[in-house]
C-alpha cells in the first residue's frame, strides 16, 4: 500500500509540474478507482505533492509561474476529488457540528486550509470554507451569522502571528473556540499556546482527529474578563510605526558601506528594500512572541538564501549592524538582534 501511495505521488507530481490538468486528474481518477480512500488521496497524495511544490519554491528551484501553475493544477485535482462520487458515498452524515475554516489576514496560501475543509466534510462536519486572507472583521461577522461550533485558522507565515493573535482573541470574545494550524505556530505549536488558541494541530489529519469527539469546548464567559494571557509588547508597536524609516536607514547605511551612490548603481546582486523589510518584520514578530529563537533561525535561513542569490557573504551582518544603530530605546529588539549575531 505504501509503495502504491508513493507511486501515486510520483505520478501526480509529474503531471502537476508539467501543468497538465488532464494527466493530473486522470492519475487521481485511476487512483480512486483502484480503491485508495479519498482521505488518503487528499492528505497523502494531493497534500504530499503540494508540500513538495512548496519545498521546491522555498528552495528556489521553481519560478513563480511554475509554482502557481502547479498549484492551480493540484487545486483542480482537489476539487475533482471533492466532487467525486466516492467522496459523496463515503462522507459521514453531517452530524458532528458546524465548523468554519479560514486563512488568517495576510495568509494567501489556501491549500492546507482547503485540504482540512475537505477532510472535515468527509468526517461528518458541516464546513464553511472562507478562503485566503480573511480580515478579522469579516470573520467575526461570519461568526455572528453562522454561529459555528469551532473556527479553524490557518497561518503558515510567522510574520502574520500578530494578525493571528488578533483573530484568535476576537473569535474567543465572540464565544467561539479556535483551533489553529500551520507552520507559523512553530513545530511544537508553542506560539499557539502563547497566543491563547484553544487547540493546535500539526496537520490536517491531526486536526480532524482532535475534533473527532466533536467541537472544542466553549470557554466559560468568566474567562473573558481575565487579564489577557499575552499582552502586546510596546516595542512591537514602536517597530511597526518605524518600519518604513528603519528600512530606509538600513538601505542608506548599506549603500554608504558599499561606497555606492544609490539603489540602482553597480552590478552586484544585493539587498533589496523588500529583503530589509523582511528582516524588520521577523524582528518585530520575534519581539511580539518574545522568542529570540524565531529571529535567529530566520537569520540563518535568510543568510543561506542570500548566498544562493550571490549576495556577498557578510552582507547579513552589515545589515544587522546597520539595524542595530537604528534601534535606540528598544532594548528588547536590540537584545533579540544581538543574539542572532552570536
Partner 1 sequence: MAWEDTPYPMLIVDASGRIERANRATRTLFGGVAGDESLTRAAPAWLAQAHRMLSARLAAGAAGPGCEVARGPVGEKVYEAHPVYTDGGRVTWWLVDVTVQQRAFEELQAERDASASMVEAATELLSSLNLDRCLQAAARLAVRHLAAAALVVIPLGSRRYEIAYCGEANGRAVRESLTIDPRTLPGLVEALQGYPPVPPHWVEPELAPGWLIREGAGEIGSMVVIALPGYGLPAGALVLLRRPDTAGFSRREEMFARLFAIRAGTAISIARLYAEQSAVTETLMADLLPPVIPHLDGAEVAASYRAAGDSARVGGDFYDVHPAAGSGREALVVLGDVSGKGPEAAVLTGKIRNTLRALLPLADDHQRVLEQLNDVLIAGDSLRYVTLVLAAVERRGAGLGLRLTSAGHPPPMIVRNDGRVDVARTHGTLIGILEHVTSVTEPVLLEPGETCLLYSDGVIEAKGGPLGDEMFGDDRLQEELRRCAGMTATSVAERVQMLASQWAGENEHDDIAIVAITAPRDTQMSPDEAPGTGGPA
Which parts of 42-71 interact with partner 1 (CB under 8 A)? 63-65, 68-69, 71
Nearer to partner 1, 144 or 234 (CB): 144
Segment near partner 1 (CB under 8 A), from 124-132, 227-235, 300-308, 326-334? 124-132
- Judged by CB under 8 A, the residue of 214, 245, 261, 331 near partner 1 is 245
Reduce the DSSP state of residue 310 to 3 states and report it.
Answer: coil
Cell numbers describing residue 108:
494567501
230 binds partner 1 (CB under 8 A): no
Task: Please report the sign of the dihedral spanned by the C-alpha atoms of residue 120, residue 121, residue 124, residue 128.
Answer: positive
Contacts of 208 (CB under 8 A, 6+ apart): 116, 119, 120, 123
Distances (CA, A) of 307 to 269, 296, 311, 315, 338: 10, 17, 5, 9, 21
Count of C-beta atoms within a 10 Å radius of residue 138? 13
Q: For residue 297, give the nearest of 184, 165, 192 by alpha carbon.
A: 184
Provide, rounded to whole angstroms, the least separation between the CB of residue 4 and partner 1.
25
Which parts of 173-212 interact with partner 1 (CB under 8 A)? 173-176
277 binds partner 1 (CB under 8 A): yes
- Judged by CB under 8 A, the residue of 136, 156, 169, 286 near partner 1 is 136
234 binds partner 1 (CB under 8 A): no
Cell numbers describing residue 246:
528603519
Residues in contact with partner 1 by CB under 8 A are 18-23, 25, 63-65, 68-69, 71-72, 75-76, 78-80, 82-83, 106, 108, 117, 127-133, 135-138, 141, 143-147, 173-176, 220-222, 224-225, 240, 243-245, 247-248, 272-274, 276-277
Amino acid at each position: 500500500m505504501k509503495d502504491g501511495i508513493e507511486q501515486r505521488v510520483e505520478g501526480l507530481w509529474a503531471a502537476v509540474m508539467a501543468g497538465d490538468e488532464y494527466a493530473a486528474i486522470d492519475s487521481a481518477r485511476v487512483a480512486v478507482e483502484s480503491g485508495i480512500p479519498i482521505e488518503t488521496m487528499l492528505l497523502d497524495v494531493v497534500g504530499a505533492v503540494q508540500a513538495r511544490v512548496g519545498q521546491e519554491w522555498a528552495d528556489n528551484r521553481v519560478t513563480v509561474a511554475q509554482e502557481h501553475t502547479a498549484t492551480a493544477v493540484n487545486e483542480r485535482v482537489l476539487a475533482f476529488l471533492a466532487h467525486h462520487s466516492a467522496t459523496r458515498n463515503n462522507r459521514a452524515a453531517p452530524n458532528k457540528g458546524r465548523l468554519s475554516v479560514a486563512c488568517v489576514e495576510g495568509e494567501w496560501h489556501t491549500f492546507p486550509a482547503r485540504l482540512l475543509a475537505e477532510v472535515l466534510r468527509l468526517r461528518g462536519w458541516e464546513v464553511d470554507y472562507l478562503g485566503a486572507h480573511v480580515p478579522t472583521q469579516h470573520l467575526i461577522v461570519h461568526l455572528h451569522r453562522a454561529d459555528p461550533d469551532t473556527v479553524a485558522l490557518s497561518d503558515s507565515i510567522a510574520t502574520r502571528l500578530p494578525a493571528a493573535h488578533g483573530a484568535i482573541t476576537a473569535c474567543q470574545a465572540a464565544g467561539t473556540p479556535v483551533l489553529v494550524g500551520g507552520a507559523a505556530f512553530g513545530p511544537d505549536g508553542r506560539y499557539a499556546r502563547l497566543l491563547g488558541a484553544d487547540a493546535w494541530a500539526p496537520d490536517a489529519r491531526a486536526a480532524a482527529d482532535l475534533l473527532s469527539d466533536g467541537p472544542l469546548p466553549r470557554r466559560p464567559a468568566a474567562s473573558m474578563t481575565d487579564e489577557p494571557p499575552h499582552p502586546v509588547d510596546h516595542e512591537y508597536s514602536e517597530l511597526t510605526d518605524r518600519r518604513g524609516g528603519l528600512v530606509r536607514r538600513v538601505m542608506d547605511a548599506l549603500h554608504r558601506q558599499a561606497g555606492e551612490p544609490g539603489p540602482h548603481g553597480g552590478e552586484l546582486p544585493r539587498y533589496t528594500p523588500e529583503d530589509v523589510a523582511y528582516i524588520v518584520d521577523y524582528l518585530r514578530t520575534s519581539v511580539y512572541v518574545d522568542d529570540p529563537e524565531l529571529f535567529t533561525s530566520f537569520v540563518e535561513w535568510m543568510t543561506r538564501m542570500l548566498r544562493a542569490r550571490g549576495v556577498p557573504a557578510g552582507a547579513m551582518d552589515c545589515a544587522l549592524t546597520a539595524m542595530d544603530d537604528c534601534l535606540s530605546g528598544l532594548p528588547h529588539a536590540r537584545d533579540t538582534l544581538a543574539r542572532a549575531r552570536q
